[in-house]
Amino acid sequence: MTRQRKRFLLNIAMLSGVAMFAVAAFWEWVFPHIFVFDTAAFSRQFPATRFTDCRGNVVHTEPGYDYCLRFPVKLEDLPQHLIDVTLAAEDRNFFEHDGVDLCAVARAAFQLITNGRIVSGASTVSMQLVNQTGERRERSLLYKLAQMGKARNLERRWSKKEILEEYFNRLPYGGKIYGIEAAANYYFGLPAGQLNTAESILLAGIPQRPNRLRPDRFPEAAIKRRDLILEMLVRQGSFTEADAERIRREPLRFRDFSLEAFPRAEDPQFFLWTRQNHPEIRGTCATTLDMAKQSVVNAVITRCVNEHRSVHDGAAIVVENRTRAVRAFLGTTDFKAAGDGQVNAALARRSPGSLLKPFIFGEAINGGLLVAETLVDDSPLSLGNYRPENFSGDFLGRVSARSALSQSLNTPAVRILNSIGTARCIETLGAFGIRFPENTNAEKIGLSLALGGAETTLWQLAGAYSSLASGSVPADLRCTECATEASNSAGAIWNAGTAAMVLEMLQTVPLPGAEHLEISWKTGTSNGLRDAWCIAVTPEWTVAVWFGNKDGSSAPELVGAEIAAPVAGAIMNALYRDQAPAVRDTSALLRTTLLCEKSGLAAGTHCEKTFSGTAVVGIPLRTCPACKSFDGANPYSRETQVLQPLGGVYRKGFNGKARFILKSLPAQAHWYLDGSYLGFLKSGTALEIPPGKHQIYVWGGNDFSSAKIEIEVK
């Protein structure tokens, strides 16, 4: 060989080496970055959700992206034989290659050239996964190169475990069934973790032609495909002939395809509300719903609507007070009704009628203004152009607060609201969870708040009464059993004795339909007979019921005591089928005290006739101002004075509050801030007050007058 020829061959070899190095370098460091795989496409394709009841039974299925049924499953929850047979069939070298199996590519190319057609594919698990973004697929060399590049890019960013897990969660199995968990549930009625080897191999074959190999429609084709994969696994050495024969004899536990695999609730309003409150939950959502109690509520409410021709709809909520879990939820009696059938009446704002009265009375009790035996005035009332009347049209004169609340008298409630202020009551209702629209303020609502002048929802009312039944400790109602469920960690709104007294006042009259049970209850009827309500509470349960017409039309039958109360009683009866409500122990919350017969307030030195009554422990009751000498002398022998702070405007400190040292005459007195009792405080006690306008009341005790100042913190 001549020297010139040797040099030529050497140059060729060097150029070939350089070219091979360049190709290798391009493949290793450049190619994976030309085609970047957008993993965000996966997050946009959110999975379906299975809602279970409180016993773990699936009661509703919510499809995911593009109405697909896909339920995520962890790789460690899958049987190892499923992983092994799937990789053996689809990508034997998955753990060795970097996204593209070059040997498989070379083999497929050689077979294509020698046979003139595609004999076998070369797509790896990673290449198949990047195809699951919903993009339109093309049969072209450029598309295949892009697929390889994206697979290489994905392998640079994700671990093999992450890729394999996502792969199993996105494989197509026919129709809208995606992912191994959905496939196992749909075809076998089993979670993927319980599949046997025969079932795993059958499912491994479906993604090749999902709609032609689905066993619910083409069982013979699916089984034939399984046998072909089994033969291939034997040739590869994954199984012996004996193993293959054993696997063929394993049962294929197909479910009954005439039954629904993924149930859909006829009325999904509870699940829609749960989704609205928890948009982050996907896969499986364990709800608080008790289907036995839900069935009772559905039957009772629907039967009542059917029995009243002018009433077209009803709603109800049952709350377990200890956990605040919603055990039954009905937003309408006919979800499929044309027009307003899908309107959720349990969440719609309506006039609550008299349902806010217990909170108005409770606020007065908590401020020491009255107790259950205090006499209140039920006589004609005129406040400017506002002239409230009772539902019956009659007035009873002087009655006890207990009678006024249990009989839902209007003028006493308006008088009490007028004395404590609408703004104060709205703030208290907000603490209980009853919140009005931002453009609805105290001036706009006015004294009509006591009679339903501000609209609220059945959901908010159920939560407020459940808090009342729990000693006035507020907490959000729970739809799910998830750890992320929101809750309110605030302390009690009132003294626990206040809540106990209000509940005892609401037990005065037995609840229709459950007269043998001790139940606190209150009805509401909106102005114009458009809404009928009843909320009943025991230590264990809160039952909230509404009847009305969604178009706002009135009906003579829409009276809370006549239509809603018996239904609440029927539901309570079902909840306490063979037992009775727990008995509240109020011995540490309520105390016996001496009351004046003339006023029902704490007896003073001028009160001649007294009786033994009940007051709240820790809250001093206002002394009777009615009994005084005939000469018109001041009934209070001594004056209470606020020495410090003085009324006026103050600036907040670095902690966002203004700090005051309290001083009074006498040196120890009862202090109230915005109607809330602070305690029997000594002069020199420090108090921090947040920004805003505030009222401070001070009362020296029996025989002392009271004093008031107003301050503003900026």
* 116 and 145 fall within a common domain: yes
Same domain, 496 and 546: yes
- pLDDT at residue 386 is higher than 80: no
Write down the pLDDT at residue 274. Answer: 95
Residues 27 and 109 in one domain: no
Average pLDDT rounded to a whole number, residues 525-545: 96
DSSP annotation of 451: G
Residues 402 and 544 both lie in one domain: yes
Asked if 28 and 156 touch (Cβ cutoff 8 Å), the reply is no
**Is 415 a domain residue?**
yes
Shared domain check, 41 and 7: no
For the domain that residue 696 is a member of, what is the CATH number? 2.60.40.10
Give domain status of residue 603, yes or no.
no
Asked whether residue 111 carries a pLDDT value surpassing 70, the answer given is no
CA distance 404 to 365: 14
Q: How confident is the model at residue 328 (pLDDT cuts 50, 70, 90)?
A: very high
Structural domain count, the chain: 4
**Residue 379 and residue 409 in one domain:** yes
Residues 41 and 140 in one domain: yes
Give the CA count within 13 Å in the CB-facing half-sphere of 9: 6
Secondary structure of residue 547 in the 3-state scheme = strand
Reply yes or no on whether the pLDDT at 486 is more than 50: no
Spatial distance between the Cα atoms of 422 and 355, rounded to a whole number of angstroms: 15
> Residue 460 has which token pair?
């908010």
Q: Which of 275-279, 282-286, 310-314, 486-490 has the lowest mean pLDDT?
A: 486-490
Residue-wise pLDDT tens digits, 626-639 = 786 444 444 555 77
Q: Indicate the length of the chain as a whole number.
A: 714
CATH of the domain at 375: 3.40.710.10
The predicted-structure confidence for 70-85, as pLDDT tens digits, reads as follows 999 999 999 999 999 9
Q: Are 310 and 556 in contact (CB under 8 A)?
A: yes
Peptide bond into 666 cis (omega under 30): yes
**pLDDT given at position 483:** 47
Mean pLDDT check: name the lowest of 138-142, 256-260, 416-420, 615-619. Answer: 138-142
Residue 162 belongs to what domain range?
35-48+65-249
Of the candidates 710, 675, 616, 707, the one whose C-alpha atom is nearest the C-alpha of residue 426 is 675
**Which tokens go with 106?**
């070379």
Is 172 inside a domain boundary? yes
Domain boundary among 218, 249, 280: 249
Instruction: Write the pLDDT tens digit of every residue in 202-251.
Output: 999 999 899 999 999 999 999 999 999 999 899 988 889 999 999 999 99
Are 559 and 535 spatial neighbours (Cβ–Cβ below 8 Å)? no
Say yes or no: 414 and 554 in one domain. yes
Residue 208 lies in a domain: yes
Residue 345 and residue 267: Cα distance in Å, rounded? 13
**Domain boundary, last residue among 215, 249, 283:** 249
Q: What is the CATH number of the domain that holds 193?
A: 1.10.3810.10
216/140: higher pLDDT: 216
Quick one: average pLDDT of 364-370? 93
Kind and range of the H or E run holding 264: none
Asked if the structure places residue 508 within a domain, the reply is: yes
Closest CA to 124 of 164, 181, 69: 164
Write down the H helix ranges in 390-440. 401-406, 410-420, 422-431
Q: Both 16 and 107 in a single domain?
A: no
Nearest-angstrom CA–CA distance, 534 and 548: 12
In this structure, the answer to whether residues 534 and 649 fall within a common structural domain is: no
Residues 557 and 647 both lie in one domain? no
Question: Are 18 and 161 in a shared domain?
Answer: no
Q: pLDDT at residue 657 above 80?
A: yes
User: Which residue, 249, 279, 297, sits at the end of a domain?
Assistant: 249
Average pLDDT of the segment spanning 117-121: 48
- The answer to whether position 293 is within a domain reads no
**Strand order of the sheet with strand 520-525?**
325-330, 313-320, 541-548, 531-537, 520-525
Comparing 678 with 121, the larger pLDDT belongs to: 678
Q: Identify whether 618 is part of a domain.
A: no
Q: Establish if 258 belongs to a structural domain.
A: no
81 or 678, which is more confident? 81
